[in-house]
Structure 1
Amino acid sequence: MSTIAVLGAGPGLGMSVARRFAKEGYAVGLVSRSADRHPGYLEELSPSGVRAVAVAADLRSAGGAARALAEITSKLGPIDVVYHGPGAHDLSAASVGILETGSDDIRRAVAETVEPAAEVAGLVLPAMRSRRSGAVVYVSGLSALVPLPFLGPYAPASGALRTYARTLAAAAAEDGVHVGSLVVGGLIERGDIHRMLTDLTTPTAYATLDPDELADAVWRLASGEEQELVFDVLTQPGR
Structure 2
Amino acid sequence: MRNHRKHTVLAAAAVAALSLGLTACGGGDGTGTKDEGAAASSQTATAVKPDATSKTDAGSNTDGSDGSGSGTGGAAAQTAAKNKGGTSGGGSGTSAGGSGGSGKSSASAPACAYGDVRITVEKADETPTEHVVLTAKNISGRSCRLLQYPLIAFGPIQTAKDIPAVAKSKPPVQVVLAPGDPAYANVRVANGGVHEDNKVVTSFTVNLFAPDGPAEGSVDVKAPAGGLAVDEAVAKTGYWTPELRNGADEF
**TM-score, L = length of structure 1:** 0.20
**Which protein, 1 or 2, shows the higher relative CO under an 8 Å CA cutoff with sep ≥ 6?**
1
